[in-house]
Amino acid sequence: MKLLAGNSNPQLAQSVADHLDLPLTRAQVKRFPDNEVWVTIDENVRGEDVFVLQSTSYPANDNLMELLICIDALKRASAKRITAVLPYFGYARQDRKTGGRTPISAKLVSNLITRAGADRVLTMDLHSGQIQGFFDIPTDNLLAAPLLAEDIKRHYEKPSDLLIVSPDVGGVVRALALASRLNADLAIVDKRRSGPGKSEVANIIGDVSGRRLIMFDDIVDSAGTLCSAAKSLIDAGAVEVSAYVTHGVLSGAAVQRVRDSVLKELVITDSIDAADRAVDGKIRVVSCAPLIGEAIRRIANEESVSKLFD
């Protein structure tokens, strides 16, 4: 087994390698003067089971091309099996036609990864489960809920007294999975989206008065929706509001919005490299390296991955 890393998240790649007690495969992933991607694998991979770890986060197009070219280089070097490990799958929010003459970019990206030569895909908390069906190769979608539930148990007394909140109707199943692990109650924020990154709270389903709340979602991008939902919950009588989110995209002024918001804290995983953004005291990072590392070990040994979530 070999583990190859692109440039999207070197710290996570090293943490996964340390968990597996495995050195990262020697390779050069660089740029030509005109910014084209150039990849050279500096050790023999013929007949090897190779895992390529690369989040397609910002800059999404550059990181996606790195992934595709790494896969192509490994395919031409006669690797036996290539698994694309995407802790964060970019373009996932474009998973259906939202109007006339619009693309389904998540399907396009899945086709690119497959045609590049990947034999299977390992990712975490896809924006929607249907994206697994976009791939014509085996795809494992890891769940961050067990990892984050353990963090909640370590940092909160009586987790069962918490109220888990889904920040929208579409995330109810995800929030319910976390609530079930904590034996906690569930509430829902009914928000209406007026455009990309723009939404407003229309209603709160459930009694949040006098409760400690944890909002749970898969992606925080601009943080506008998250912060406005937190304010609405405080206005409705909540004692405190925290947020647990798997993928901390945190684009633009997101960190400043979190800093100025009523949120007690925002907890994200390191599926996206947040080293230069998660500098505020309100933002805390939980490593997903043990989860991804264990999944890689199980795939390499032909063991069950779903057992991780029992």
Active site residue 158: no
Q: Mark out the alpha helices in 99-249 (DSSP H runs).
A: 105-116, 145-155, 172-182, 224-235
What are 233's two structure tokens?
A: 């919950």
Domains present along the chain, CATH in parentheses: 2-142+290-309 (3.40.50.2020), 145-287 (3.40.50.2020)
> Which residues carry a binding-site annotation?
34-36, 93-94, 127, 168, 193, 217, 221-225
pLDDT of the residue at 190: 86
Q: How far apart are alpha carbons 35 and 32 in whole angstroms?
A: 5
Binding residues for Mg(2+): 127, 168
pLDDT at 123: 98
Please enumerate, by residue number, every residue annotated as part of a binding site for D-ribose 5-phosphate: 193, 217, 221-225
pLDDT value of residue 277: 63
Residue among 191, 198, 231, 282 flagged as catalytic: 191
Whole-angstrom CA distances from 87 to 59, 125, 154, 242, 292 are 15, 8, 24, 23, 8
Question: Is residue 12 a contact partner of residue 53, using CB atoms and an 8 Å limit?
Answer: yes
Please list the residues that pair with 198 across neighbouring strands: 195
DSSP category for residue 265: -
Cα distances (Å, whole numbers) of residue 293 to 53, 90, 93, 107, 299: 11, 21, 26, 26, 10
pTM for this model (two decimals):
0.94
Regions of the chain where pLDDT drops below 50: none
